[in-house]
């Protein structure tokens, strides 16, 4: 059954109350028409609960806008949702990616994440390619996708909104990796699910790394907002040598600050009995929060990104396949994923709004039952790197 406006409705009831489902909910394809965003195809999802989000077909099917009952959830950076045709991947010493960095979720990969790196290319057996030179966070997020299907799907008296598409990261004498993405949201709900498959379509043995840069903005992010996570220990912090210099710990967020220098933690997370890891940012004053739930076997590593500089104000929840030191560290520890032809990795991630104090309390209770996070906002750095199994 569909829950809409406080009523439980069958498919027949929904049809009786309007000439089209789009009066209440739906998926609509449009094209952005101005500025740096001109020409980008975008899907708009409305679930009927007040949840609205958009998917950028021409930027790897990443999630751009996200709002709930008029309150923004996703972050908009000054860079905007830039058309990939304007992107210069190798520019600015590998940092040009930042000129296309905006939205609730930016996909990083498919063969590289984290900072710039020149990796040995021997697996591609091409004498003129000695290395694969990767800029920050990889290529995939600025590759236009192929939209395969979208719309509404009734399953009995439940209606699901969905889109499916393919993003291909490929070159001659190099990788040929396919990202097959499906996004689903049930009508009447305040959540959506992202289902990804990364497949080696080529015939070279190819490395694979994957990360979601999930960026939450104001008003969920505000002075006093709290980060909730089942943290077992904290292996690393980017600012460990000056840990308290900015007086901002991992737990409670400050107001926007002039000249704030970004801070990043890697948190070792505990999982529940089903292997799930829920992480949330909550604003108790508004009674509003947002939770990201991943599977620990799929994303064994998690980062917290704090970008509290005025005008760039964002909090990042970042599930990752690898530790924060990237490909060299993964190679050294034999934790780099390699895909042979037709091998794949699957990832299922849930994004949900926490509406009201009771929903926030329930999420906090669930997270605390998995692991009680460090009470000290400046948690002790363990320096311990848990082994990533199954590689």
The gap between the terminal CA atoms of the chain, to the nearest Å, is: 42
Q: Please indicate, yes or no, if residue 312 is contained in any of the structural domains.
A: yes
The model's pLDDT over 5-21, given as tens digits with 9 standing for 90+, comes to 999 999 999 999 999 99
11 found inside a domain: no
Can you tell me the mean pLDDT for 99-104? 96
Which pLDDT does position 295 carry in this prediction?
98
Instruction: Report CA-CA distances (Å) from 309 to 221, 260, 278, 324.
Output: 13, 5, 26, 22
Provide mean pLDDT across the span 271-279. 98
Please tell me the total count of domains within the chain. Answer: 1
**What six digits make up the tokens of 77?**
């950076």
Residue at 28 is within a domain: yes
**Mean pLDDT of all residues in 357-379:** 98
2, 157 Cβ separation under 8 angstroms: yes
Give the residue-averaged pLDDT of 292-308: 98
CA nearest to 234, candidates 388, 389, 384, 387: 384
By the 10 Å C-beta count (0-12 exposed, 13-18 middle, 19+ buried), 156 is classed as: exposed
The pLDDT of 327-351, averaged and rounded, is 97
What is the rounded average pLDDT for all residues in the chain? 97
- Using an 8 Å Cβ cutoff, are 18 and 40 in contact? no
Tell whether the model's pLDDT for residue 355 goes beyond 90: yes
Centre a 10 Å sphere on the Cβ of residue 131 and count the other Cβ atoms it contains.
Answer: 11
C-alpha 140/C-alpha 117 separation (Å) is 16
Task: Kindly indicate the confidence band of residue 389, based on its pLDDT and cuts at 50, 70 and 90.
Answer: confident
**Omega cis (within 30) before 205:** no
The pLDDT score that the predictor gives to residue 391 is 73
Instruction: Please count the residues of the chain.
Output: 391
- Rounded mean pLDDT, 25-46: 97
In a domain, 282, yes or no: yes
Judge whether residue 90 has pLDDT over 90: no
pLDDT score of 330 more than 80: yes
CA dist 333 → 70, 220, 227, 387 (Å):
46, 38, 30, 8
pLDDT digits (tens, 9 = 90+) for 186-232: 999 999 999 999 999 999 999 999 999 999 999 999 999 999 999 99
376, pLDDT greater than 90: yes
**Residue 6, domain member (yes or no):** no
3-state SS string over the chain? Answer: CEEECCEEECHHHHHHHCCCHHHCCEEEEEECCCHHHCCCEEEEEECCCCEEEEEECCCCCEEEEEEECCEECECCCCCCCCCHHHCCCCCHHHCHHHHHCCCCEEEEEECCCCCCEEEECHHHCCCCCCEEEECCCCCHHHCCCEEEEEEEEEECCEEEEEEEEEEEEECCCCCEEEEEEEEEEECCCCEEEEEEEEEECCCCCEEEEEEEEEEECCCCCCCCCEEECCEEEEEEECCHHHCCCCCCCCCECCCCECCCCCEEEEEEECCCCCCEEEEEEEECCCCEEEEEEEECCCCCEEEEEEECECCCCEEEEEEECCCCCHHHHHHHCCCCEEECCCCEEEEEEEEEEEECHHHHHHHHHHHHHHCCCCCCCCCCECCCCCCCCCC
Please give the structure tokens belonging to residue 148: 């395969």
Residue 180 placed within a domain: no
Q: Are strands 337-339 and 51-56 parallel, antiparallel or unpaired?
A: unpaired
Domain extent, residue 250, equals 23-143+207-341+350-370
In a domain, 181, yes or no: no
Cβ atoms of 381 and 240 within 8 Å: the answer is yes
Do residues 68 and 50 lie in contact, with contact meaning Cβ atoms separated by under 8 Å? Answer: yes
* Cβ neighbourhood burial of 197 (10 Å; 0-12, 13-18, 19+): middle
- Average pLDDT, stretch 115-134? 93
- 142: which 2 tokens? 């600025």
CATH code at position 306? 2.70.98.10
The answer to whether residue 77 scores a pLDDT higher than 90 is yes
> Residues 36-76: pLDDT tens digits?
999 999 999 999 999 999 999 999 999 999 999 999 999 99
Question: Within a domain: residue 4?
Answer: no
93, pLDDT greater than 80: yes
């Amino acid at each position: 059954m569909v829950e809409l406006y406080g009523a439980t409705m069958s498919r027949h009831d929904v049809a009786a109350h309007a000439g089209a489902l789009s009066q209440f909910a739906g998926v609509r394809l449009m094209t952005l028409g101005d500025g740096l965003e001109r020409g980008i195809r975008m899907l708009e999802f409305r679930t009927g609960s007040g949840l609205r989000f958009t998917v950028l077909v021409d930027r790897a099917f990443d999630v751009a806008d996200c709002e709930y009952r008029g309150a923004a959830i996703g972050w908009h950076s000054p860079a905007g949702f830039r058309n990939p045709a304007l992107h210069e991947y190798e520019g600015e010493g590998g940092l040009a990616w930042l000129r296309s960095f905006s939205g609730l979720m930016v996909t990083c990969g498919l063969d590289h994440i984290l900072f710039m790196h020149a990796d040995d290319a021997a697996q591609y057996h091409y004498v003129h390619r000695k290395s694969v030179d990767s800029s920050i966070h990889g290529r995939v997020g600025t590759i236009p996708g192929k939209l395969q299907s979208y719309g509404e799907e009734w399953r009995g008296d439940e209606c699901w909104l969905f889109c499916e598409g393919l993003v291909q990261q490929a070159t001659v004498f190099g990788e040929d990796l396919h990202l097959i993405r499906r996004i689903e949201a049930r009508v009447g709900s305040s959540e959506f699910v992202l289902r990804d498959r990364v497949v080696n379509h080529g015939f070279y043995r190819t490395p694979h790394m994957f990360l979601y840069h999930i960026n939450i903005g104001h008003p969920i992010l505000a002075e006093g907002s709290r980060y909730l996570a089942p943290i077992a220990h904290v292996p690393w912090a980017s600012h460990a040598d000056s840990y308290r210099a900015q007086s901002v710990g991992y737990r409670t967020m400050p107001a926007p600050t002039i000249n704030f220098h970004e801070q990043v933690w890697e948190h070792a997370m505990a999982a529940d009995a089903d292997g799930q890891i829920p992480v949330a940012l909550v604003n108790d004053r508004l009674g509003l929060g947002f939770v990201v739930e991943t599977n620990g076997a799929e994303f064994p590593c998690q980062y917290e990104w704090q970008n509290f500089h005025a005008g760039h104000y964002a909090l990042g929840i970042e599930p990752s396949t690898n530790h924060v030191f990237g490909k060299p560290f993964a190679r050294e520890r034999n934790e780099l994923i390699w895909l042979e032809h037709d091998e794949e990795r699957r990832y299922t991630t849930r994004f949900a709004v926490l509406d009201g104090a009771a929903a926030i309390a329930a999420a906090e209770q669930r997270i605390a039952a998995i692991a009680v996070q460090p009470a000290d906002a400046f948690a002790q750095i363990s320096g311990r790197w848990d082994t990533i199994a199954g590689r």
